[in-house]
Structure 1
């Protein structure tokens, strides 16, 4: 009988070492079959970026959802106030001055007989416009100046820091009284310009610190070693990784700017009639709070709700974008 060739797989392992022999045999078979044999394709899990991860967290945050819905409603009525208040806010009837709630006029009337509900709805346009435009202007100006100062450093950084310190030393309400008292226009644009003038240093300081931190990362040093120019490094590598703190500060500042506009209008140097503003209505109602408290409560409540919604939105964005809070 011919002798059969020896097969190590059929060998009987000694007592006590069978487990080790089976394990070695299994590993040998897997090596013979090659990687991936008998297995499905390797899982492809794509790591989420900072922005996608932050958006995922925001969608699960009830504070963000609630504040975003309130802000969306305010923006809609600011663009199209006729959707829920079809009458003219400047149409008044002195015979109904300071009267309370009536059919078709749920908020009552002010000292001129104007519908408080209609003026409250139309007042959202001025406040939202001032807040968004002032925040956009301050964020753009501050980000550009602060980003350049943090990237290049040297005398440009020192000069910008000293200029920012000068603006930080100006009380914003007192500066508004001085600056806007010489402006005859009662539109939103002088108020927007003043807020941008005194609001950019805060954004610039945040942007400068973020750029200085991002400039020291390894990927920036690698891009510089590969010959990337200053413009490419600043726009492609540094700016996307330094803009998160600016967005957080700007979102919170938007609510502050809306409150600042109402304060300046209350003092008589901000928006002026015939512009419809919550600050103007609060100023007109402040002397009649005992006789007609509804004149003050509704515009003041709308202002407080708007400012609170933007501050809550900023807090939610900060929690989502700050890696230290994860």
Structure 2
């Protein structure tokens, strides 16, 4: 007969909570079934998807170009030679050479500028994505979990920022700065781009906070901080990751659009948007000056969109 007077072990509430979160099932090795079914199964599913493999390979090449452009070209992208004014057509046989894509109006290597233009765009895209995910995720998590007055206040603030046109607002903010570098452009885009992440996180948290394992954690006396960061956040972050992955490509396009309009990086910086802007006047006689930077921009954005779609299908059991 069990001893009813025996004091429970200190770690028994943790075991009960782990079993509740795992749906009452524990694997042979002691690993909770819930955690494995979400992330481990998603990773196994991703590795079998051609869409994920292709997009990851393209993103890897883009990141290598951004980090080590010297691996792809030894030409100086800022050096111009007017004797090479629109000299040469694209030569498919000249792989990774200075004249592979030909030269622009100022005699600069289009290939070198396409390679070096990756860095600014990727830095802005990654920086904005990290900032909006952290800030928007925090706002959405607090609004969704606490509800009531805090939900109304944070949601109304989110609606105010959501009502500001994204590109128009960024143009107004950037127009106030004379020296527009990576940090200024990243801050301007993040200042206006966090609202979508906040809304997604709020909805996910509202759904998650009513789950049985969260109710069990509250019943066992777990603190608010512990519940938020150990139980609510890990189970609500999946849709945020999907949205952030797809949005990264959107921020790269936003940076290129601002550079195209002359509100991005300065004249000395190398950017796809600035090169596209310069090439629009010569598109009829020298279309290759526009095709290559625009094509690289489109390919990069497409890679992040495909990666986001693959992650979304892997994390959503209904789409498997």
Mapping for residues 13-52 of structure 1, pairs under 5 Å:
44=28, 47=33, 48-52=36-40
Mapping for residues 99-110 of structure 1, pairs under 5 Å:
99-101=87-89, 104=97, 105-110=99-104
1:140 aligns with 2:134: yes
- The structure that has the greater radius of gyration is 1
1:78 aligns with 2:66: yes
Under a length normalisation based on structure 2, what TM-score does the superposition of the two structures give? 0.86
Deviations 1:84-132 (A, max 9, x none): 1112111110111122237641111111111000000000001111110
> Which of 141, 161, 164 does residue 167 from structure 1 map onto?
161
1:181 aligns with 2:181: no
1:113 aligns with 2:101: no
RMSD (Å), alpha carbons = 1.4
Under a length normalisation based on structure 1, what TM-score does the superposition of the two structures give? 0.84
Shift of 1:294: 1.0
- Quote the Cα distance in structure 2 between the aligned partners of 1:169 and 1:99: 47
- Quote the Cα distance in structure 2 between the aligned partners of 1:285 and 1:50: 47
Mapping for residues 197-236 of structure 1, pairs under 5 Å:
197-236=191-230
Three-state SS of the structure 2 residue aligned to 1:231 is: helix
Three-state SS of the structure 2 residue aligned to 1:184 is: coil
Three-state SS of the structure 1 residue aligned to 2:117 is: helix
1:68 aligns with 2:56: yes
> Which of 50, 69, 82 does residue 94 from structure 1 map onto?
82
- Quote the Cα distance in structure 2 between the aligned partners of 1:261 and 1:276: 12
Q: In the alignment, is the contact (CA less than 8 A) between 2:170 and 2:192 conserved in 1?
A: no
Q: Identify the residue that residue 322 of structure 1 maps to in structure 2.
A: 316
Q: Identify the residue that residue 269 of structure 1 maps to in structure 2.
A: 263
Q: Identify the residue that residue 307 of structure 1 maps to in structure 2.
A: 301
1:55 aligns with 2:43: yes
- Quote the Cα distance in structure 1 between the aligned partners of 2:303 and 2:279: 24
Shift of 1:44: 4.8
Q: In the alignment, is the contact (CA less than 8 A) between 1:285 and 1:295 conserved in 2?
A: yes
- Quote the Cα distance in structure 2 between the aligned partners of 1:147 and 1:186: 32
- Quote the Cα distance in structure 2 between the aligned partners of 1:308 and 1:76: 17
- Quote the Cα distance in structure 2 between the aligned partners of 1:175 and 1:44: 54
Q: In the alignment, is the contact (CA less than 8 A) between 2:181 and 2:266 conserved in 1?
A: yes
1:256 aligns with 2:242: no
Query: For structure 1, which runs of at least 5 residues remain unmatched after alignment?
Result: 1-42
Q: In the alignment, is the contact (CA less than 8 A) between 1:100 and 1:292 conserved in 2?
A: no
- Quote the Cα distance in structure 2 between the aligned partners of 1:174 and 1:226: 50
- Quote the Cα distance in structure 2 between the aligned partners of 1:155 and 1:44: 45
Deviations 1:139-168 (A, max 9, x none): 000011110111111211111111111111
Three-state SS of the structure 2 residue aligned to 1:49 is: helix
